[in-house]
Chains A and B, each alone.
Chain A
Amino acid sequence: MISECGKVNADPAAALSETAEQFLYREADLLDRWDLQGWLGILTSDIDYRIPVRNTLMHDQPGEQYSSTAFHMVEEYASLKARLDRLKGRAAWSERPHSRMRRHVSNVRSTRTELRIRVSSNLLLFWGRGSDDLLVSCAREDVLRVDAGGMKLARRTVYLDHDLFPLPNLSLPL
């Protein structure tokens, strides 16, 4: 999937798809490597980031499987920056040492309108701390925006497959 740098792909639709896909891979890599500054650098300043609480509702019940009022994270740029700034300090005890994370991004689908790209993807996160490890599974609906600085993440909603949130805490974005 990774095309050679600078090479123009003959099929524009394929190039578009690769670009969005590559963006997600690069983003996952930044977080896996704890390059928090690098991750902040690929967000738009008006980013809307949210992880709604999932509920198990009967299918004939009004309401949403994903809450519109309760979130595990509901963030803007400043709040995400504050979270990551805190983790850089020596006293963010739950991340000393850093938890081990590997993001497996799959099933990437994208559509482009003007300078916006809508991308859907699946994410399987391996999470480990000490001898404990867990998996988190979710789908993500993103909006990427292209500006002079390149492609940036403008909107993300994370749809957890878990009803009971599986981690003892969540310090980095999904």
Chain B
Amino acid sequence: MSSIGRASSDEAPVITIPERLASIAGELDEGIVPLWIYNDPALYAQEMEDIFARTWNFVAFEDEVPKEGDYVRRTIGDDQFIVVRGDDGQVRVLLDSCRHRGAQVCFGDRGNASRFQCPYHGWIYDRQGDLVTVPHKHTAYRGMDQKSWSLVSAPRVESYRGLIFASLSESGPSLLEHIGDYRWYLDVHLGLSPGGMTLVGPPHRWRIDADWKSGSENFAGDSYHTQSLHQSILAVGLAARQAAGASGGKNDIHVTECSGHTTSIRRKDPGEVHFWGYPEDVYGHFGMDDLSPAQFDLAKRSVVHTGTLFPNLSLIHLGATHEPGSPEVAFLSFRQWKPLGPGQMEAWSWVLVPKEASESYRERAYRASVATFSPSGNFEQDDSIVWSGVARNARGVFARTSGMRLNYQMGLTGMSEAAVLSDWPGPGTVYDSNLEEGVQRTFFRNWYRNITQHGHALLGRSVK
């Protein structure tokens, strides 16, 4: 349902992707984004090449592959990989495609394997991806250099505090450079508990007919939507008003332009101890070994954080309950909006709690997460419907040719009281209000930078 091939005659004007993108450039800083970018095949192809094949992509938690031979199957863009821990303890990200005919060699979502055997002709690879068995090798493949026929691996794999990322590009910034200053905020979530954050079960996966950017830009800090889209949560008491209600609270802040990543934070008053709603027997373990006093103080006052690490790994840390009237319990969820085609995604969600939490706490926290942020989540049910509508609208010709533009202007200079905090102890350009959309403008500026900086061949492809 693309703009490609829809032109009525050969004389129709040819509009190239670069021209269409160039028209965006001048408007992004004014908070204007065209609708068509949420569902466009040529743009999707370019995102695959210029974003997902180059940037650092989250692939798995260390917790998911703790032992040698443990693996999970994951995708990066349209490519399928086996994320496997080798005999040397290293995690590799191997293209799940036999070097003989390209067939798939791994068929489970996860598991433990000593080898991966291609069913087609029986070539076998070990946990490092090296080719170890070729039937009839000595009679029919004399002189074959087996070492050069290993499974193809992602050239760079690095992890940060239990999160494993892969880059499909040989060169480019390191993972730490990619995360950049955003480390300060990630550490508030991942460095607080001395035992670290631990996964509760395998991820949720579900399909949404919506563009990956809808998930990323929402979690980048759409503090404004809760009072409308999620008002029903408050009515039945599944989350506190301060976490799920209207934006504009006096302790709400937006972190923009933090190495291209963002977060929205709602806090209690100074001096209050909240830690997102963790009870004292959990937060009593939290410490400052890995955090500065300012980071620890932020954690202490925190009610809810959402954020997006570019391009598509989002987080939400909040307290909620599955059962109105019972005390809220906090949990951390990482979610990934995996592109599955123009205007289509697979949503993945993992739930984490501090390692020190008791079994009964884990259970309650997991139930609260399912009740709020999951395919059946009382929050998330409503998000997916809205995002599908955006993608549905974005695919039309008129949506593009009419110049349909979206307003991402909230809080631009003079529009709201939002002002940059001059004494904020952390990185980024931080606003003293969440009634502003600099968080989403940051996402789109970074997206635009990524998609235009490489001058890829696709840029020259003409699209009618």
Contact = CB atoms under 8 A, between A and B. Distances in A.
B384 A79 contact: no
Given A58-B107, A79-B367, A91-B232, A164 B200 contact: no
A70 interface: yes
A75 to B, nearest CB: 7
B201 A69 contact: yes
B108 A57 contact: yes
Contacts of A92: 232, 381-382
Contacts of A167: 206, 375
Nearest to A132: B209
B322 interface: yes
Interface in A33-91: 51, 53, 55-58, 61-63, 67, 69-76, 78-79, 82-83, 85-86, 89, 91
Contacts of A86: 232-233, 235-236, 238, 378
Contacts of B113: 58
A133 interface: no
A164 B205 contact: yes
A61 B70 CA distance: 11
B367 A82 contact: no
B60 interface: no
Contact of A53 (B111, B204, B209, B371): B204
Contacts of A129: 385
B231 A69 contact: no
A171 B383 CA distance: 12
Contact of A78 (B210, B231, B324): B324
Given A53-B204, A69-B202, A72-B374, A169 B324 contact: no
Given A69-B200, A82-B238, A89-B235, A56 B376 contact: no
A159 to B, nearest CB: 16
B233 A166 contact: no
A58 to B, nearest CB: 4
Interface in B158-217: 200-210
Contacts, number: 140
A85 B201 CA distance: 28
Contact of A165 (B205, B231, B386): B205
Contact of B108 (A56, A67, A70): A56
Contact of B366 (A72, A74, A82): A74
Contacts of B202: 53, 55, 67, 69-70
Nearest to A78: B323
B124 to A, nearest CB: 15
A93 B323 contact: no
B109 A55 contact: yes
A128 to B, nearest CB: 14
A13 interface: no
Nearest to B384: A168
B208 to A, nearest CB: 5
Contacts of A85: 236
Contact of B385 (A62, A93, A163): A93
A58 B323 contact: no
A40 to B, nearest CB: 14
A166 to B, nearest CB: 7
A72 B380 CA distance: 12
A148 to B, nearest CB: 26
A55 B110 contact: yes
Contacts of B378: 82-83, 86
Interface string B209-243: 11000000000000000000101110111100000
Given A71-B370, A168-B384, A169-B376, A58 B108 contact: yes
B381 A74 contact: no
B388 interface: yes
A166 B111 contact: no
Contacts of B325: 78
A69 B388 CA distance: 29
Interface in A106-165: 129, 132, 163-165
Contacts of A62: 112
Interface of A: 51, 53, 55-58, 61-63, 67, 69-76, 78-79, 82-83, 85-86, 89, 91-95, 129, 132, 163-171
9 contacts: A56-B107, A57-B110, A58-B107, A82-B322, A93-B385, A94-B382, A166-B207, A168-B385, A170-B376
Given A86-B236, A93-B232, 19 more contacts: A53-B202, A57-B108, A61-B108, A70-B200, A70-B203, A72-B370, A73-B376, A76-B322, A76-B323, A78-B324, A79-B322, A83-B378, A85-B236, A86-B378, A94-B385, A163-B109, A163-B205, A165-B205, A168-B207
List the 10 closest pairs (A to B, CB-CB), nearest first. A69-B201, A70-B201, A165-B206, A170-B376, A169-B381, A61-B111, A94-B385, A78-B323, A91-B232, A79-B322
